[in-house]
Amino acid sequence: MASAPRKRPAAEPRAGQKLSPRGELKRTQILDAAAEVLAVRGFAGTMLSEIAERAGTQAGSLYYHFASREDLIEEVLRRGVTLTMAHVRAALTELAPETSARDRLAAAIREHVRFQLDVSAYARASARSTGQVPAEMRARINREFRRYGVFLDELIMEAMADGAIDPGVDRSALRMLLIGAANWTTEWFRPDGTSNVDEIADLLVRLMLSGVAKPKPGRRLPKKSKVD
C-alpha cells in the first residue's frame, strides 16, 4: 500500500530566497494563466482546463502545485491586492518628498487605475472576481483588502489635514466609491484603442479632487498624469 508520499502540501515559496529551484517556474506560469482567466471569466467561469491550457499543462497537473482550485484562485486574488498596493506604494515613494498630500492621493489613484488596466492581470482578476467568491475565502482575502483600505484611508486623511479635501465627508464611503469606480473599469475598459487609460485615470482623479463642474476661470485643474 502507501506508495511514496508524493505531492507537497502546495506551500508557497518560503519568505526566503528558495525561489525557482525548477518547477517554481511552472507554478508561476500557472498563477499567471489563472490570473488572466479570472480577469476575463470571473470566478464562476474559470475552469481549470483553461488555466492548464494557457499554462501549457494539464488540468490534473495543477494539483501538483496547488491543493485545490480554490487555493489557486485564492492566491491569485490575494496577489492582486498585494501587488496593487505594492505598486501604488512604490510610485508614491518616488515622488518628490515635498509633494503635497493632494498630489500624493492623485498619484495613488492614477497608479491604481494604471496598474489595473495596463499592467497586471492579477489586479484585474481580483477587481473582477473577488465579489463572487465563497464566504470563507472571501473573509481571508478581505484581510488584504482592509490593509489596502487603511493605506488609502491614510492618504485621504492627510489630504484632509492638508486642506485639500473637505474633512466633513465620510472617509470610508469616499474610499469605497473611489475603489468602486476604479475596479469597475475592468468591466468596460477596452484594451484596443477605444479607451485611454491615462484619460480615465485623470478623470477619476479629477472627480475625487475637484469634480467635473465647469472650471472657474481662475482655478487650476489637475493636469495630465506624470508620475515617473
Binding site for DNA (CB under 7 A): 3-4, 6-8, 21-24, 26-27, 46-49, 56-61, 63-65, 68-70
Shortest Å, Cβ 72 to a copy of itself: 16
Phi, psi of 212 (to 5 degrees): -105, 20
Shortest Å, Cβ 3 to DNA: 6
- Residue 42 interacting entry, from a copy of itself, DNA, none, C-beta within 5 to 8 Å by type: a copy of itself
Question: Which residue in the set 20, 49, 68, 132 belongs to the binding site for a copy of itself (CB under 8 A)?
Answer: 132
- Residue 195 interacting entry, from DNA, a copy of itself, none, C-beta within 5 to 8 Å by type: a copy of itself
Tell me the residue type at 44. A
Helix segments in 94-120, DSSP class H: 101-114
**Residue matched to cell numbers 494557457:** 54
- Residues numbered 146 to 185 that lie near a copy of itself (CB under 8 A) are 163-167, 169-170, 173-174, 176-185
Binding string, residues 13-42; x marks residues near a copy of itself by CB under 8 A:
-----------------------------x
Task: Determine the 3-state secondary structure of 180 from DSSP.
Answer: helix
Angstrom distances, CA of residue 117 to CA of 75, 76, 84, 93, 181: 20, 16, 11, 21, 13
Task: Determine the 3-state secondary structure of 203 from DSSP.
Answer: helix
CA gap 33, 36 in Å, rounded: 5
Return the number of the residue (152 or 178) whose C-beta is nearest a copy of itself.
178
Residues 6+ apart with CB under 8 A from 206: 212, 221, 222
- Residue 190 interacting entry, from DNA, a copy of itself, none, C-beta within 5 to 8 Å by type: none
Angle, helices 121-129/24-45, rounded to nearest 10 degrees: 30
Phi, psi of 191 (to 5 degrees): -65, -20
Return the number of the residue (65 or 78) whose C-beta is nearest a copy of itself.
78
- Residue 137 interacting entry, from a copy of itself, DNA, none, C-beta within 5 to 8 Å by type: none
Q: Which of 118, 92, 127 is nearest to 227 (CA)?
A: 92
Return the number of the residue (8 or 219) whose C-beta is nearest DNA.
8
- Summarize as ranges the residues that interact with a copy of itself (CB under 8 A): 42-45, 128, 131-132, 134, 163-167, 169-170, 173-174, 176-185, 187-188, 195, 199-200, 203-204, 206-215
